[in-house]
Structure 1
């Protein structure tokens, strides 16, 4: 069964002086979040950006995919901690994403862990959606 999730943004004003509010329609679990060009290109100062939202989506999707890959290989993880860093360059767009994952996986060696992480990096649905962007990975078994 396909699932569709929705959010919307109301933007007022010009790109550089305006501001917007992102609303998470499907779940409602997050309050409306303010967005501005300054938050996107300089300091966040309590506001989010498209890149932070992509980072959240990518880190959670990667964690789910990686967990599934490990489980299917007979090594369910005890814990995975994943971060995604999305780099935005004004005038160029999103220029890269770096995923960092540390995991505790009983019975697994470092090489197998890294190989499974690479598989998740390439095949998680968000990575698939972002194929136009270079995605790098650092994986560490702890």
Structure 2
């Protein structure tokens, strides 16, 4: 399978005082504001590249894990993934994926095994040149 996706960034002004907007072909992002303030400071409404990378990574990982669980004859009730992107000295130095899953009839060891495989084969994980840490919690009844 091969496909392409498109996004656009438009920026005006200097790095610190300027601002821009981000749009995607799907219009999920439609001139969404981003700026120095939304990237490096808190409080102003808008997004930033690191937040978007975190969302993309969490989403891709959860979907990949779902496929791998299905291949092993398990279906998740829920997979909740938080991605924490660490930016340090001009680089993304680490992404922590914190997974909490509710998967009937799976034991913790098998869930860990499949989750770690998903981290390795997730297309976004393979794209990123940084440390990726995975923390896994299986809900038990």
Normalised to the residue count of structure 1, the TM-score between the two structures is: 0.93
Change (3 A) 1:99 1:44: farther
Determine the structure 2 residue equivalent to 1:69. 68
Change (3 A) 1:3 1:128: same
Alpha-carbon contact 1:94-1:133 (below 8 Å) kept: yes
**Does residue 141 in structure 1 map to residue 135 in structure 2?**
no
Change (3 A) 1:2 1:82: same
Determine the structure 2 residue equivalent to 1:125. 123
| C-alpha distance in structure 1 between counterparts of 2:41 and 2:51, whole Å | 13
| C-alpha distance in structure 2 between counterparts of 1:75 and 1:60, whole Å | 19
Aligned length: 139
Determine the structure 1 residue equivalent to 2:28. 29
Q: Give the unaligned 5+ runs of structure 2.
A: none
Aligned with 1:16: secondary structure? coil
| C-alpha distance in structure 1 between counterparts of 2:133 and 2:77, whole Å | 24
Alpha-carbon contact 1:41-1:88 (below 8 Å) kept: no
Q: Give the unaligned 5+ runs of structure 1.
A: none
Determine the structure 2 residue equivalent to 1:104. 102
Normalised to the residue count of structure 2, the TM-score between the two structures is: 0.93
Q: CA deviation at 1:86?
A: 0.9
| C-alpha distance in structure 2 between counterparts of 1:116 and 1:44, whole Å | 38
Alpha-carbon contact 2:37-2:44 (below 8 Å) kept: no
**Does residue 79 in structure 1 map to residue 73 in structure 2?**
no
Give the RMSD, CA atoms, in angstroms. 1.2
Aligned with 1:29: secondary structure? coil
